[in-house]
Chains A and B, each alone.
Chain A
């Protein structure tokens, strides 16, 4: 087998028990590292680490829709917004609901959902929205899908801005209880990584990649491409919804403006720079871009150079598109990673 193993070439063989064990070991190791970090890190460091985890989860979930299945969707921020608002409104303290959220129906106004329930319902809401929208919008291809999903952001933003009684409009919903910590974010990141990785090397993953490479050919060999696309779209949206819900309970504020076109752009940058379809690439790009943004913040705020980090992200993208359009890792994963997690493939 070549060094850089291309997408899921080999047939599934015996149960990948060894791979599963190694994965479990790695997760345990990560958790231990996190536990250490959280006891050492300052509050700022812990929040930053949590943000990195959430951004990794976002980039990898977008890799599912855009990278593996080849749909160019910009709609992730819309689903994050849905997840964030639903979870935040449901989990809002009852005492403040009556003054802040005048538009809520009585049943909801009198009930504060437990954190987990609020997040789960946020995810469900994002998934249902994606399913309904995907049914119609996924017929569009290429940059038309991109613009339609961009429109989705504007539409959801418009609702959030104007539905004063429930979202508090442009000033945003603040005072959300801080229920998320680095553990939640790391857990979500690991879950998303495991799910997307397993999916990529499953038959559904192969169907997704077949749809990406050549929709007509995929249909000819019996892939129900419309369904495969919808599944990828909804699954990505659910993950985005959970991230949105966790983020709301991490930074304790939701504003419509923070889930806009810029965020969509940054997520696409992570996917494209990492390599369209490469999970490893998305992880590295997400970590690098998040840390760069944070690293430049003192410079931006101290010297009034607002926009500097965003410019650098855009410039990096232009350079990658120009000189390495396949991204860092192309569509594959590094060979050693595959050998590590899928030992049955490399013999």
Chain B
């Protein structure tokens, strides 16, 4: 269990004219929740997009030791990365508004070949988020923001993630939904999932994270266990709103 599931080494990434990631190195071990925190524009979403293949890095490796053996994700197209087990639940939920709730969930299972297991897994997602069963036949656009986030997570779970990338799951949600989402994240960990989490809400993220990385201007400046980081003065000042 000691070999990392995902190891990013020396990742450099350019977005238009700006160099957004500088020699980024981080790793995620099996069964961990790793939080990536940082200010707006620090490069958090770009990191996730590089992992899921939406952005092509200038240099560096993203080694993923998945069920199909060790592979370098920088060489794969997004759809191949999903099939390898790295599932990206994007910022802003990005559900398919005109499709029904059920169709959205089935889109999560799109590339899977083991379709005989789907009914059971659909039941599991419905257990996690009962509202999705109730609204199965409605257009996803008719759901509230919090329900849409549940749908986005349920959809990602049906992609059968080995590693789940969560981009700002709490963004713009009412408090009761945020708690619900974080409950589910912890529940997933207890079932053995591995998660890379990006959050504006650094306090909550560090609370549930095993380890965390602080990203500033495209560089990793601090790393440590979630609890260590939450106690770190700099982190407290910059990200946890501690004025003392």
Q: Do chains A and B touch in the complex (CB under 8 A)?
A: no
Residues of chain A at the chain B interface (Cβ within 8 Å): none
Residues of chain B at the chain A interface (Cβ within 8 Å): none
